[in-house]
Amino acid sequence: MIHWTGVLSAGAGALLIAGCASFNCCKMNSPTSKPFGTVDGQAVTLYTLRNAKGMEAQICNYGGIVTSLKVPGKNGNFDDVVLGYENLEGYLKSTPYFGCIVGRYGNRIANAKFTLNGKEHTLARNNDQNSLHGGVKGFDKVVWKVVKATDNSLELQYTSKDGEEGFPGNLNVTATYTVTDDNSLRIDYTATTDADTHCNLTHHSYFNFAGKGDILNHSVTINADKFTPVDATLIPTGELRPVKGTPLDFTTPHTIGERIGDSDEQLKLGKGYDHNWVLNKNTPGTLTLAATVTEPSNGHVMEVWTTEPGVQFYTGNFLDGTITGKGGWTYQARNGFCFEPQHFPDSPNHVDFPSTLLLPEQTFRSTTIYKFSALS
């Protein structure tokens, strides 16, 4: 059994936001904001965070969605590198988790159930027989409270009630976004509960550094010697399989398109890459470089750092041309990719996986950093 409680670790340099506890007392140092619509009578606001170098992130308090992320490329240009919509209606109508906070449990839980303290908990089924990304109404589909907003950071809070989507315990969650001076988007999560529960939070932006079109020429490196193979419903089998000799070996750089069409069984099951990589970590819970992505045409480079033990790499396999997003772009398969740092899928049903169990006397802490630079 792996007694890995990285879910409870603050990680190196975990961000603690101090100071005023409300948005009103930060008005002198607040970001640009504008109304973004309403959901069930609750106002939704779009915030623009900036650093001194010109990087800009637009984030709304519905689902904590990053609607736009402008980062440096070649020749000093700043490009929006995330898929999404230009208005709230798009996210309400149809969205494959564009840019959102995912919870209470990111990724899949087999047969939408788990047993905790001898009691079976039945979850909402929203992915065939499985539960995916927190259920029918996960953290991506609720309005979060704005606790604090400054010119480069936004702190959001949400309380998930006991029994919501089948999960036990009242879970109080905080997510803080920060645009840092080294051109990073940093996301810090904390959570506490009043009853034993499972918690696995992540971020779900779809990236495309080429402007439009596919992401097949993006070069990827993943710091992982193993991955968790899946069955036909994309649930882990429980095995930690070496990537060596498979198309899932990104220990050295490969373009996404180089092997995505191979006859490998795992690629067929996922319709491409849609798997969890087991990150190489010396110390659980510390910040680790999980992945690096480079795109030559626009010169974008992204590093993904995380305190989590795994990362889900997904290549937009289920985008099918039915969604038209920003700039009139109709999103097709392979038009975006996700790197979702998290604990492993279905961990509540695998005692040998790093634990996602959160107890009332503990605090969940997790940090993810997407750091951007440009090729010269």
pLDDT at 25: 39
Does residue 10 belong to any structural domain of this protein?
A: yes
pLDDT at 31: 78
What average pLDDT does this structure show over 304-333?
97
pLDDT: is 258 or 9 the higher one?
Answer: 258
Does residue 126 belong to any structural domain of this protein?
A: yes
Query: Which residue, among 148, 141, 161, has the nearest Cα to 101 in the 3D structure?
Result: 141
CA gyration radius, the chain: 19
204 catalytic? Reply is yes
| Mean confidence (pLDDT) of the chain | 92
pLDDT at 17: 33
pLDDT at 15 over 70: no
pLDDT at 13 over 50: no
Q: What is the pTM of this model?
A: 0.92
203 catalytic? Reply is no
63-87 pLDDT tens trace: 999 999 999 998 888 999 999 999 9
Alpha helices in 68-199 (DSSP H): 88-93
The answer to whether the CB of 339 falls within 8 A of the CB of 290 is: yes
pLDDT at 376: 82
Does residue 56 belong to any structural domain of this protein?
A: yes
Does residue 70 belong to any structural domain of this protein?
A: yes
The answer to whether the CB of 292 falls within 8 A of the CB of 302 is: yes
pLDDT at 29: 66
Does residue 1 belong to any structural domain of this protein?
A: no
279-297 pLDDT tens trace: 998 788 899 999 999 999 9
The type of residue at 301 is: V
pLDDT at 284: 84
Number of domains making up the chain: 1
191-228 pLDDT tens trace: 999 999 999 999 999 999 999 999 999 999 999 999 99
81-132 pLDDT tens trace: 999 999 999 999 988 999 999 999 999 999 999 999 999 999 999 999 999 9
| Rounded CA separation 224/172 (Å) | 32
Q: What is the CATH number of the domain that holds 132?
A: 2.70.98.10
pLDDT at 132: 97
From 121, 198, 203, 204, the catalytic residue: 204
Domain limits at 192? 6-374
pLDDT at 76: 85
157-199 pLDDT tens trace: 999 999 999 999 999 999 999 999 999 999 999 999 999 999 9
Distances (CA, A) of 119 to 111, 115, 196, 324: 15, 5, 11, 43
Give, as one character, the DSSP assignment of residue 44: E
From 164, 165, 308, 340, the catalytic residue: 340
pLDDT at 8: 45
Does residue 46 belong to any structural domain of this protein?
A: yes
Does residue 64 belong to any structural domain of this protein?
A: yes
Which residues face 256 on adjacent strands? Answer: none
